[in-house]
Amino acid sequence: MEKTDVTQCSVVVLAGGWSDEREISLQSGRACQKALGQAGFEKVDFLDVAEPDFVKKLADGNYDVAFVAMHGRYGEDGCIQGLLEIMHIPYTFSGVLASATGTEKEVAKSIYRSAGIPVPEGVDLKGDTQVDDKMAAELVNKLGLPIFVKPAANGSSFGVSRVTSADELAAAVAKAGSEGDRVLVESCIEGTEISVPVIGNDNPHALPIIEVVTGADFYDSKVKYEPSALHHVIPARLPEAAYAKAQELAVRAHKALGCLGASRSDFIVKSDGTPVILETNTIPGMTESSLMPDSARHEGIEFPELCRKFVEYALEAHGTKE
């Protein structure tokens, strides 16, 4: 396919699916479909991956590129990317390996460490671990209080608990374990919560940093989808050196994981200015209240232009349809 005008490409937006984040994915997908139309794309279809005839519709559509607006299991973990690779359809955002690695928090942490990115101390447990009093005491002794307990491969804060006493650990681990095969128990890092979007392929760059102000114990799934003006401060109120370091580490995480197109890394900046990474989202949310579009607007990139860029990055990274 030889096209000089990317808006002549036929695009299919993939959303929905079966994860806990199905509804927010559908919202992201519809928002991206609308934005691509505003950017001048002439053909932008929308498919819910959970539809029984999804694969047939995808195969019959003769699409030039797939815009992946899925979050969580089957969408952000490399599964849908693998299907698109098999079908030779270029797609937005990261490939199979980076998607799978970014989703598995403990695996990602090992890569962060190798890249010199500070991470919280933590313990990885099987999802069916039964935490007794002895184990709870050992975890508290090792990690202190409060402690965060989270599924090792879920998103949008589903299954996450903030534990403030040892007797809460058993229930928190069981809750996180119900969401997946592994559970991550981490020390709580105190400081300023920020999120750093990064866009690009071979030469990615960081967008303005968002300071997340919640008024809650942590940035949970309820807070995430409230109006952005309630919780986003852009640019983040950080000392200049800490701000620059957080952007540098976010780009380093993007490259270390092998991300393409976009990523969004979340950090806690400690009182000494050290950013400690929590996780990297390989398919950031794309609703009106989402962090990535909000940050891009502060750099002068409106949502339609941002979505167009993602299609351009997709064709650059994954080639054109064979």
Query: Is the CB of residue 1 less than 8 Å from the CB of residue 321?
Result: yes
Query: Is the CB of residue 141 less than 8 Å from the CB of residue 167?
Result: no
* Cα-based distances in Å from 62 to 9, 12, 66, 317: 10, 10, 11, 19
Pairing of strands 122-126, 182-187: antiparallel
Q: Phi/psi at 313 (nearest 5 deg)? A: -60, -40
What is residue 173's three-state secondary structure? helix
Type of residue found at 135: M
| Per-residue pLDDT in tens (0 to 9) along the chain, 322 residues | 444 689 999 999 999 999 888 999 999 999 999 999 999 999 999 999 999 999 999 999 999 999 999 998 899 999 999 999 999 999 999 999 999 999 999 899 999 999 999 999 999 999 999 999 999 999 999 999 999 999 887 655 678 999 999 999 999 999 999 887 899 999 999 999 999 999 999 999 999 999 999 865 554 455 555 555 567 999 999 999 999 999 999 999 999 999 999 999 999 999 999 999 999 999 999 987 799 999 999 999 999 999 999 999 999 998 776 5
Q: CB-based contacts of 261: which residues, under 8 Å, 6+ apart?
A: 92, 93, 94, 199, 200, 201, 310, 313, 314, 317
pLDDT in tens, 261-286: 999 999 999 999 999 999 999 999 99
Query: Is the CB of residue 238 less than 8 Å from the CB of residue 211?
Result: yes
E strands in 112-238: 122-126, 147-151, 161-163, 182-187, 192-200, 205-206, 210-212, 232-233
Residue 287: what pLDDT?
A: 85
The sheet carrying 182-187 orders its strands as 122-126, 182-187, 147-151, 161-163
Give CA–CA dist 53/57, Å, rounded: 6
Give CA–CA dist 185/175, Å, rounded: 12
Q: Active-site positions?
A: 21, 156, 225, 264, 266, 279, 281, 285
Torsion of CA 206, 207, 208, 209, to 10 degrees: -60
